[in-house]
């Protein structure tokens, strides 16, 4: 009786030993059966423990490799589905984003996939580490459907804020506000690609293509409108040792024109710029004449009806004659003024 009991305990121990063997997912056939491609994205990796690794280091590395394998499959799926571009066609035309979604897709896919789970196993006999990553497609679908809606709602808010800023003649701030929409369009695009990759039968309504098209059209039209130059009316009074000149004014105009500004009559201007500059002699050293340019500048916002920037600057210039030194000093002070004005005139 005692022998029978011992045999029974041995049998239980053997069953328990086998139950703690390799998990089923190590086998490719079982993996494909339990985690079918129509339900899951999966990733798999295995390898030996290198002499420089601890067992845990090897497990962590193989888990990372399995996750990367899963992500690679998603990206390949996106690439395959995106051969036919998602286009939103309506009476007004089509949504055709200028920037491809590729860079955003790479960034997003390098992040942890929502709902991704991982398992690992170390086979002491074979001295191999196995790792498995999997994510349910329906969970991913729900996530990216929600992500798409959130991004489009944020874009709506940004455009509305930019419109309000434009109405208040805050063109620079409106342009800056619109810049915030660019990455959101890329994220929305990626979400649409993910939804299509997960389910090829995703409807245009689920992809919110018409809404995306409408927002993108509003965005591009407003960008073009705000890209038009800021108009400036300039009043100047420059004295170069008794000679009437426009050295500071011309230099500032050239710098601001390179940044997209235009110069016009007062009634058509966004800003009025007042410049006053005079020169005074300083010293002569080794045949080089030095003098100063004393300049005051005031920028008046015509729409706000107030001075938004004012400053007084002095710069030194040196050359072979008083006239050349004065001109040099005026050119130097003009550079400093142009730099300061750029922040206010955009």
When pLDDT is cut at 50, 70 and 90, the band that residue 75 belongs to is confident
The Cα angle at residue 233 between residues 227 and 239, in degrees rounded to 5: 135
The enclosing domain of 77 has a CATH number of: 3.10.129.140
Q: CA-CA distance, 23 to 19, in Å (whole number)?
A: 9
pLDDT digit string, tens, across residues 86-105? 544 334 444 554 444 344 44
User: With the CA atoms of 129, 132, 133 and 138 taken in that order, what torsion angle do they form, in degrees rounded to the nearest 10?
Assistant: -170
Whether 148 shows a pLDDT value over 70: the answer reads yes
Contacts of 177 (CB under 8 A, 6+ apart): 158, 161, 162, 165
Query: Do residues 150 and 193 share a domain?
Result: yes
Query: Do 43 and 115 belong to one domain?
Result: yes
Looking at residue 81, what is its pLDDT? 60
Are residues 145 and 85 part of one domain? Answer: no
Domain that holds residue 123: 31-135
Q: Does residue 59 carry a pLDDT above 50?
A: yes
- Per-residue pLDDT for 158 more than 70? yes
Integer Cα distance of 263 and 236 in angstroms = 13
DSSP 27: S
Answer yes or no: do 153 and 176 share one domain.
yes
H or E segment and range at residue 122: strand 117-123
In-domain check, residue 281? yes
pLDDT reported for residue 218:
93
SS (HEC) of 227-291: CCCCEEEEEEEEEECCEEECHHHHHHHHHHHHCCCEECCHHHCCEEEEEEEEEEEEEEECCEEEE
Indicate whether 4 belongs to any domain. Answer: no
pLDDT at 106: 43
The answer to the question of residue 212 being in a domain is: yes
Strands 288-301 and 271-285: antiparallel
Residue 254, both tokens: 């050239």
Tally of structural domains, the chain: 3
CATH code: domain of residue 306: 3.30.160.150
Q: Which of 226, 245, 268 is the last residue of a domain?
A: 226
CA–CA dist 171, 200 (Å, integer): 42
| Residue at a domain's end among 184, 206, 226 | 226
């Amino acid at each position: 009786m005692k022998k029978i009991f011992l045999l029974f305990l041995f049998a239980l121990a053997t069953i328990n030993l086998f139950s703690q063997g390799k998990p089923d997912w190590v086998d490719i056939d079982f993996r494909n059966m339990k985690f079918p491609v129509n339900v899951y994205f999966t990733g798999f990796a295995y390898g030996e423990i290198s002499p420089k690794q601890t067992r845990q280091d090897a497990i962590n590395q193989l888990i990372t490799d399995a996750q990367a394998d899963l992500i690679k499959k998603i990206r390949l799926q996106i690439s395959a589905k995106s051969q036919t571009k998602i286009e939103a066609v309506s009476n007004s035309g089509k949504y055709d984003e200028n920037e491809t979604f590729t860079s955003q897709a790479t960034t997003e896919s390098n992040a942890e996939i929502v709902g991704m789970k991982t398992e690992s196993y170390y086979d002491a006999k074979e001295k191999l580490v196995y790792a498995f990553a999997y994510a349910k497609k329906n969970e991913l679908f729900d996530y990216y459907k929600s992500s798409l809606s959130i991004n489009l709602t944020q874009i709506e808010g940004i455009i509305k804020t930019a419109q309000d800023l434009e109405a208040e003649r805050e063109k620079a701030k409106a342009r800056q506000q619109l810049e915030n929409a660019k990455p959101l369009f890329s994220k929305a695009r990626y979400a649409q690609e993910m939804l299509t990759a997960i389910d090829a039968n995703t409807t245009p309504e689920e992809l919110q293509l018409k809404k995306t098209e409408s927002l993108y059209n509003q965005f591009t039209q407003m960008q073009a409108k705000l890209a038009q130059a800021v108009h400036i009316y300039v009043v100047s009074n420059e004295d170069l040792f008794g000679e009437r000149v426009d050295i500071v004014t011309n230099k500032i105009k050239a710098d601001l024109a390179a940044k997209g500004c235009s110069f016009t009559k007062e009634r058509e201007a966004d800003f009025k710029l007042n410049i006053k500059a005079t020169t005074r002699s300083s010293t002569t050293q080794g045949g080089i004449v030095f003098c100063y340019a004393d300049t005051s500048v005031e920028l008046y916002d015509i729409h706000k009806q107030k001075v938004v920037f004012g400053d007084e600057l002095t710069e030194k210039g040196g050359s072979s004659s008083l006239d050349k030194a004065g001109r040099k000093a005026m050119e130097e002070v003009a550079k400093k003024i142009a730099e300061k004005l750029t922040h206010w005139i955009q």
